[in-house]
Amino acid sequence: MVIPGIHHITAISGTPRVNYDFYTGVLGLRMVKKTVNFDDPQTYHLYYGDETGTPGTLLTFFPLENAYQGKAESGMANRIGFAVPEDSFDWWVDRIAQHVERFDPPAERFGRPVLTFQDPDGLMLEIIPLSGVETLPGWENGEVPRKHSIRSFANATLLLEDATHTGKLLKTMGYEMTEQDGIFQRYVADNHSHVVAPFLDLQIQPGVAGRMGKGTIHHVAFRAKDEQEQLRWREEFIKVGLQPTNVVDRQYFKSIYFREPGGVLFEVATDPPGMLIDEPKASLGESLRLPPWYEDRRDQIEANLPFL
């Protein structure tokens, strides 16, 4: 039993409309679900991804109008890498320079080009060209031509004081450490030959202080093919001394949560049922979707949500 890669990544943002304009406009992702935080229905939960919100492409946000500015610290994820076709990297360098205020010159990590920049709330993002991702669908009706569109995650980066115990857990999950580049260690998921979200990087940097807030990553979710496999993983995590939650129904997937040894919040989410369970592909993300247990409060919830 192995984890085949990242399912989704969830972050905190500021104003919902600013977040929407950046991720659909500048980055050309599709908003595949507009719903609410199931634990706080007065807050949106926005999902972006490829045409159908395939696991491995889903970036989700809790937008909080008055959120404090956050800063990633040890025990948090701090970077999100997007995979693009190899011949699209220069196109993205030009696009980011034209549309983004905060960006670094192109660099190299693990022998690959990388373009690092920040979204309007300070979340650190990266464009990484990967061989083979051109075969993935992306989103062809967005603001970015399909030829250059983001296809999936390339990686997520965890900021840690020490990698020893996290590395052992990742090995249990089926990841293999393959490279080191300065303070970065690269782990490769079992699905590395299938392109989608293949890498997880560890950035070893002791003594980094910060706080959760807008511009920070809330958690990283990994894939389970179904509920039975998810329950087996839950048992495995308990065996190695972790404390996973009971299964939580997130409507579009089932979830368990736990803190990995370095402090980062991990989730294991099922691939099914997916984004198409409550609206057709042609109109994904166009209307507010609520789980059944909130439908009787729809008018109140809609009235309290900010403009989007």
Q: What is the pLDDT of residues 3-51, one digit of tens each?
A: 999 999 999 999 999 999 999 999 999 999 999 999 999 999 999 999 9
Q: What is the DSSP string of 215-233?
A: TEEEEEEEEESSHHHHHHH
The tokens describing 16, both together, are: 């919902």
In a domain, 215, yes or no: yes
What 3-state DSSP class applies to 12?
Answer: strand
Q: What is the pLDDT of residues 98-132, one digit of tens each?
A: 999 999 999 999 999 999 999 999 999 999 999 99
Q: How far is CA 230 from the centre of its chain?
A: 19
In a domain, 248, yes or no: yes
Mean pLDDT for all residues in the chain: 95
pLDDT the model gives residue 5: 93
Distance in angstroms (rounded) separating the CA atoms of residues 185 and 218: 21
pLDDT the model gives residue 195: 64
When divided into structural domains, the chain yields a total of 1
pLDDT the model gives residue 207: 78
Q: How far is CA 214 from the centre of its chain?
A: 15
In a domain, 217, yes or no: yes
Distance in angstroms (rounded) separating the CA atoms of residues 87 and 276: 31
Q: What is the pLDDT of residues 175-231, one digit of tens each?
A: 999 999 999 999 998 765 566 888 999 999 987 778 899 999 999 999 999 999 999
Question: Comparing 29-33, 71-75, 122-126, 155-159, which segment has the lowest mean pLDDT?
Answer: 71-75
Q: What is the pLDDT of residues 277-286, one digit of tens each?
A: 999 999 999 9
In a domain, 1, yes or no: no
In a domain, 143, yes or no: yes
Residue 206 domain boundaries = 6-304
What average pLDDT does range 153-160 have in this prediction?
A: 96
Q: What amino acid occupies position 156?
A: A
- Please check the confidence at residue 2 and state whether its pLDDT lies above 80: yes
CB 215 within 8 A of CB 19: no
pLDDT the model gives residue 65: 87
pTM comes to: 0.96
Strand-pair partners of 266: 220, 258
Residue 143: count other Cβ atoms within 10 Å of its Cβ.
16
Distance in angstroms (rounded) separating the CA atoms of residues 280 and 262: 40
| CATH code of 101's domain | 3.10.180.10
